[in-house]
Structure 1
Amino acid sequence: MRIHLLLGALASAVLALVLGTDLAWAHSGAPIAPVTEGPSATELSSLDVGWLFSGYGVKHILLGYDHLLFLAGLALLCRQLRDVVGVVGVFAIAYSSTLVGGTLAGIAVPGDLVDAVIALSVGFVGAQVAFGSANRFLGASPRWPALCFGLAHGLGLSSLLQELRLPQDELLPSVIGFNVGVEVGQVAALAAFIGLLAAVRAFPFPSRQQIPAGFALMSASSFLLAFVV
């Protein structure tokens, strides 16, 4: 019964995606308020700017269902807590590198392209959850999709920041603060999800429930792709 409650929660996430709110996208959703709102930029120190953008990072990632669904899929693939830490650590390094590097270098990627790749990432990890035990390719270490798709997630966040056209003297503290906020939000969301799994005695995730959970993620991926296309 408890595991069915968990699957019901995953279905609710899919339903939220069907409703089609822009907040479903961590990488192109509701715009972040620029630093120039409120106190003028000249009144804010670099530390203040970093602190401000760390708050934006936390809020943005907790409202980004695409990012959270991918994280949930990675967690479902892990058999031990240390595996979760390792896989999510690879993911964090990957997206942090393209988030910071892409923003500082001014590398902008079309939002629809990034959103499509990220939607596919949710579907791929869902396929790994559902069929990884029976397919050699899908059964590969989850660190590889975490690394590859993490780079795409970071480019999406970078493009979002670049839309603000921040002054050069605000750029570095903004991107570092935003990245720290994303990390904090991600850890909080992941801890809540692992706690939920543990509460229903579903960590590590039971093999008999992997197919329905994987299909829930693949359904979410299809809805995300439908919004892009």
Structure 2
Amino acid sequence: MFSFPPVSGSNRPLWAVFAALAACFLVGGDALAHGVTEGDKGYIQEITGINLIPFLYLGAKHMVTGYDHLLFLFGVVFFLYRLKHVGIYVSLFAIGHSTTMLAGVFFNIGLNAYLIDAIIGLSVVYKALDNLGAFQRWFGVQPSTKAATLVFGLFHGFGLSTKLIDYDIAPDGLLPNLLAFNVGVEIGQLLALAAILIAMGFWRRTASFARHAYLANTALMCAGFILMGFQLTGYFVA
């Protein structure tokens, strides 16, 4: 298991960066949640029939601007060094994400958007704690990381399907459009993942990775708690 060094004063600049990022997520609010903006909402509601390219684009946009998904993916690949292992975990996440997104919209399974997004924030917290080895230290057991990735992928998919249901997509051409949207999501996920892995690859070659890995996952956990708090506040205030 990875051994974390103690946090020192030299970590403060990195902590400030992650705190700033977390603040940006909070300020972004619902306008950026799942990458479905008001402009996209109006477009989705106006078009009818099969529109593969527009839905492909919207799916890709959803993933590359979906900071909650990207935070979770960042946590998933943080300690994965082999592309084979990255492929396994990302595939599990994609299977879960795709299943509930497609089924949720096609069968009109609507859930409370605030609670689902709070669970997505929880998935970020969970993955950060997993990376920190918290479950092993606290309970003496290591939960299945593959099962957790699949299960949380299901919730991430419900997060988007719930938003899409609210936008009342035309039933004409619904299934082809949803499939195109899902392909776009996977394309966006691969692009975002490639950027994350490239950045991680450079970082892992430096001495700062070992020094800052603990702090990075602590900041990731804090960002997850911020997302949870924001969504739960919305649930109780709305």
What TM-score bracket applies, with the shorter chain setting the length?
A: 0.7 to 0.9
Asked if the contact 1:104/1:171 (under 8 Å) is kept, the reply is yes
Match of residue 67 from structure 1: 69
TM-aligned CA distance change 1:173 to 1:162, over 3 Å: same
TM-aligned CA distance change 1:139 to 1:9, over 3 Å: farther
Asked if the contact 2:44/2:167 (under 8 Å) is kept, the reply is no
TM-aligned CA distance change 1:189 to 1:9, over 3 Å: farther
Structure 2 residue identity aligned to 1:95: H
What are structure 1's unaligned runs of at least 5 residues? Answer: none
TM-aligned CA distance change 1:175 to 1:122, over 3 Å: same
- Scaled by the length of structure 2, the TM-score of the pair is 0.80
Can you list the C-alpha shifts for 1:6-31, whole angstroms capped at 9, x where unaligned? 8776444323123243344217x524
2:204 is paired with a residue whose SS is coil
Structure 2 residue identity aligned to 1:183: E
Q: Aligned ranges for residues 143-162 of structure 1 at < 5 Å?
A: 143-162=146-165
Q: Quote the Cα distance in structure 2 between the aligned partners of 1:10 and 1:184.
A: 27
Match of residue 30 from structure 1: 37
Does residue 169 of the first structure (1) align with residue 185 of the second (2)?
no
Q: Aligned ranges for residues 1-229 of structure 1 at < 5 Å?
A: 10-26=18-34, 30-31=37-38, 32-33=40-41, 34-35=43-44, 37=46, 41=48, 46=50, 49-131=51-133, 134-135=136-137, 139-202=142-205, 208-228=211-231, 229=233
Structure 1 residue 140 displacement after superposition: 3.6
Asked if the contact 1:131/1:138 (under 8 Å) is kept, the reply is no
**Greater CA deviation, 168-177 or 121-130?**
168-177
Q: Quote the Cα distance in structure 2 between the aligned partners of 1:138 and 1:5.
A: 34
Q: Quote the Cα distance in structure 2 between the aligned partners of 1:138 and 1:202.
A: 31
Structure 1 residue 143 displacement after superposition: 1.2
Q: Quote the Cα distance in structure 2 between the aligned partners of 1:62 and 1:77.
A: 22
TM-aligned CA distance change 1:79 to 1:142, over 3 Å: farther
Structure 1 residue identity aligned to 2:55: F
What are structure 2's unaligned runs of at least 5 residues? Answer: 1-10, 234-238
1:71 is paired with a residue whose SS is helix
Structure 2 residue identity aligned to 1:26: H
Asked if the contact 1:129/1:213 (under 8 Å) is kept, the reply is no
1:103 is paired with a residue whose SS is helix
Count of matched residue positions in the alignment of Structure 1 and Structure 2? 218
Identity among equivalent pairs (%): 33
Structure 2 residue identity aligned to 1:15: A
Asked if the contact 1:100/1:158 (under 8 Å) is kept, the reply is yes
Q: Quote the Cα distance in structure 1 between the aligned partners of 2:16 and 2:147.
A: 29
Q: Quote the Cα distance in structure 2 between the aligned partners of 1:5 and 1:81.
A: 30
